[in-house]
Structure 1
């Protein structure tokens, strides 16, 4: 059997991992007492905010959201102000991990809204325009409530790419679910498409979503 040539023995191969998509998660970012207070406030808003209920019904949003009705929750309620400060601390840490050249700026919460999703509710795939970071803080996640699913941002360009194996590592999958808990904070870059699948829980899935800009 012929020996390998010197040229073949000198071949070196390497696979490079580039263009990473980062998702930030943190637990217990605020005390449990604040989570309980936020849950009570969220349910109160779902009852009292008539404009929010009407917008939700008109636009086919399941349950209730304050997205289009109340844009000053941190001013109205000190509980939301405390949550906003915690979010901004983690947003700054995430921005640094992304190696952003902040040039003296910091991520600031530009908008923040409550979502109260009943059994059978879902939120279709979407992005958050006009922001740099987006995220969600989870207040109540009853047993059976759906995860948040993130989509590979390159999916529309893959054309004839073969499907991935069912047990492929998370970094290689086209859709990746994250199961939150009460007190979980999730952060991602605002261009990342995501969705909330059907809520199969016998109860309300309560979350507080937000957008950050650099200021």
Structure 2
């Protein structure tokens, strides 16, 4: 019997979803956010500096930026994106995805973020405000235990299918938002930008999401 003699079906289950949102004209929003974030750093130069943070270098704001009117434009963008996610996934109409915590990070050259997850929430996200060349890709890591077992051998010099990747990277792009499961391990490469002064900083806003009653 050859393989042509029987029915062969591949079924894929348990996907890991990452949603990408690109703002058509992010410059006005990003300029406003840059001003607000630098003002926040000036007000609180120390920021949050806990030993259990995955952040290696840089400045981390407090976690309640979403409660400030200064960030209303970004909050509105996040809410519109999460409404689309809820619809896409068939979430209950009785609940909405809403921001529980939101913070900013300024990562100058040399700073990075080691692999981590975000406990006690459903989804997490990052919005890129300033992303100079070589400022550090975000890397998402295979969440299943398959990478702890024996590794398959693949055809040399041939790109693997996405189903067989063990890591995926996104290059930071100003005006881009990524929303991913909070349990998905992710890390950020060191900022290797050679831009001058503050232009070399990778500046982002991150947030955590949970379902709340509508």
TM-score above 0.5: yes
CA 1:26–1:10: 2 relative to 1, 3 Å: same
CA 1:104–1:87: 2 relative to 1, 3 Å: same
CA 1:157–1:147: 2 relative to 1, 3 Å: closer
Q: Rg larger in 1 or in 2?
A: 1
Q: CA deviation at 1:96?
A: 2.6
- State whether structure 2 residue 185 is matched by structure 1 residue 193: yes
Partner of 1:81: 72
C-alpha RMSD over aligned residues: 2.5
Equivalences for residues 61-140 of structure 1 within 5 A: 61-66=56-61, 70-76=62-68, 78-100=69-91, 102-140=92-130
- In structure 1, stretches of 5+ residues that fail to align are none
CA 1:9–1:188: 2 relative to 1, 3 Å: closer
Q: Retained in 2: the 8 A contact 1:25–1:184?
A: yes
CA 1:57–1:142: 2 relative to 1, 3 Å: farther
Q: CA deviation at 1:186?
A: 0.5
Q: Secondary structure of the equivalent of 1:42?
A: helix
- In structure 2, stretches of 5+ residues that fail to align are 195-199
CA 1:9–1:187: 2 relative to 1, 3 Å: closer
Higher alpha-carbon deviation: 164-173 or 182-191? 164-173
Q: Matched residue pairs, number?
A: 204
Q: Retained in 2: the 8 A contact 1:34–1:79?
A: no
Q: CA deviation at 1:47?
A: 2.8
Which whole-Å deviations, capped at 9, do the CAs of 1:141-189 have from their partners, x for residues lacking one? 0011111111111146641132556621333210000112111010011
CA 1:29–1:211: 2 relative to 1, 3 Å: farther
CA 1:85–1:151: 2 relative to 1, 3 Å: same
